[in-house]
Structure formats: structure tokens, C-alpha cells
Amino acid sequence: MAIEFTKYHGLGNDFILIDNRSSSLPVLTPEQAVKLCDRHFGIGADGVIFALPGENGTDYTMRIFNSDGSEPEMCGNGIRCLAGFLADLEGESRNKDLYRIHTLAGTIAPQLMPDGQVKVDMGLPRLLAREIPTTIAPAEEKVIKQPLELAERIWNITCVSMGNPHCITFVEDVAAIPLETIGPQFEHHPVFPQRINTEFIQVVSRDYLKMRVWERGAGITLACGTGACASLVAGVLTDKCDRTATVELPGGPLQIEWSEIDQRVYMTGPAERVFTGKL
């Protein structure tokens, strides 16, 4: 049976989107997703996203397989792309701009904005060591500026979960970080039992951060939405940035806010359709 797909990207973080609304299980296996994500022998993507029927009163369910076949809890750029994809699927029958999406990280609410951007309520950041999870600190303590020895130096790390785990470290120059060698060492460090996404952050000003990321299960990517959210939270916790800031990634900027009112994190950025096809 032919399977239709649409290729989307959010700041260069690219995904294969599949209409899976007729089944509560993904129509592809993780092994098939790996082949499709191959940039030489497949379509090429950082992951495959499935739009499934909603659960527990939500509009839809999101499942995603990374390019290595692993399944993350959620993906910030991916959920913006999913919102755009759902709007395309619904077409003229669409009667809402705000979707409630069931994910492995909980319910996430992306909203289509009049200017074409997508604003996402990313929920509350989780800060305790057991919530990351990490063993670098006692389970009920926050991990803020904790020293970690790796690659023959000491890194001060702050850990935040946005439904998926992030380790943030602030550096003088993000361009100087050898991401392809340092990234895997963070991802597979034994203090992170479920592996880790790692963000390297350069503070340009209190409302402007530069970020490079090594994503768990995907490696170097041009953007990471949950990582940008986690990085702003880490910046606030370490008094390096304000609660609203632009986070510049290699693929472009995201607007991130950690609200003082409801303590939730909000991300605003683009989602662009690239092409459609059939498998």
C-alpha cells in the first residue's frame, strides 16, 4: 500500500510527516524510519513524525522516530511542523488554530499564528535530578552549575527536562566547540541513564543567546525547539539571561518565553512545507 508523506522543516530541523489518523499505531517500524531518514539512500530527515488519533480528549497524538530509530518523548520543532501538517490535512474544514496534541511528554498545545508562525505552550520545565533523569546530583535536588568532568576538562552544567532531557553548558564561543566529538561523549555519559540532549550556549546579551546542539538519537541538527526552551530556563536559573529572549540556532531564531505568571515555557517559530510524495 502506498503511503503519502510530506516533508517539513523547522529552521532546518527536518521531518517526514505521515497521516496516521486511521490507526493508533505507526504505519512504519523504527527500522523503516531509519532507512527513510538516510540522506543518501532515503528521503533524508532528522526523524519521522506520525499524526495519530487523539487520546484522553486531545485532538491528535504525535509519535516520532529519530533518524537512529529511537523514540523521543517530544520534539519542539517537530510539533510545530505537525501543527502545519494538520492544518494542511484539514484544509477548508479546519475550524481551529489551537491544537491539543498528546505526546509521550504529556499534552502540548501548538497554535497557528496569523503571521504563519507557530506558538507552542511547551508546559512546565522539570528541574529535579530524578526528572531529567541524572545521577549527577541527589534525586530531589536541582542540577544548576554542577561540575562534570568530560573530555579532559570541567564543564559546569545545568539540567532541564522539557519532557525530554537536556544538559546545558555556557561557553565563550559556540563556534569553537568540536560538536561532533564532544556531543556523543555527553549523550552517552553514565550520569545520564536515558542519554541526553546537550546544548552549548553563548550569551550575546540578556535577551539574545546563540546555541548549538547535539541531539540524542539524531546528532548535530540545525535546530532543537525543546533545547532552546531548556537553554532559556537554564539561563534564567544561572542569571545569564532574561525570561524572554531570542535563541539563535544554526537554522535561524526562535522566540522563547518562560512566563512569570504561569511558569510555563512558550516557543514561537516557523514550520515550512518542503515537498510531498509517496512511498
- The residues carrying an active-site annotation are 75, 224
Distance, in Å, from the CA atom of 202 to the CA atom of 66, rounded to the nearest integer, reads 27
Q: Give 144: exposed, middle or buried? Use CB within 10 Å, 0-12, 13-18, 19+.
A: middle
The reply to whether 66 sits in an annotated binding site is yes
Query: What letters, b where the CB count within 10 A reaches 16 and e where it falls short, cover 34-68?
Result: bebbeeeebbebbbbbbbbebeeebbbbbbbbbbe
- On whether 77 is known to bind a ligand per the annotation, the reply is yes
* Residue 164 annotated as lining a ligand binding site: yes
126 is in an annotated binding site: no
Cβ-based burial of 77 (10 A; exposed 0-12, middle 13-18, buried ≥19): buried
Q: How far apart are CA 91 and CA 45, in angstroms?
A: 25
Do 193 and 159 form a contact (C-beta atoms < 8 A)?
no
- Is 225 one of the annotated binding-site residues? yes
197 labelled binding-site residue: yes
Amino acid letter for position 208: Y
Measured CA to CA, the distance from residue 194 to residue 135 in angstroms comes to 11
Nearest to 88, CA basis, from 24, 17, 11, 3: 17
Q: Is 226 annotated as a binding residue?
A: yes
Q: Is 29 annotated as a binding residue?
A: no
Binding-site residues for substrate, please? 13, 66, 76-77, 164, 197, 215-216, 225-226
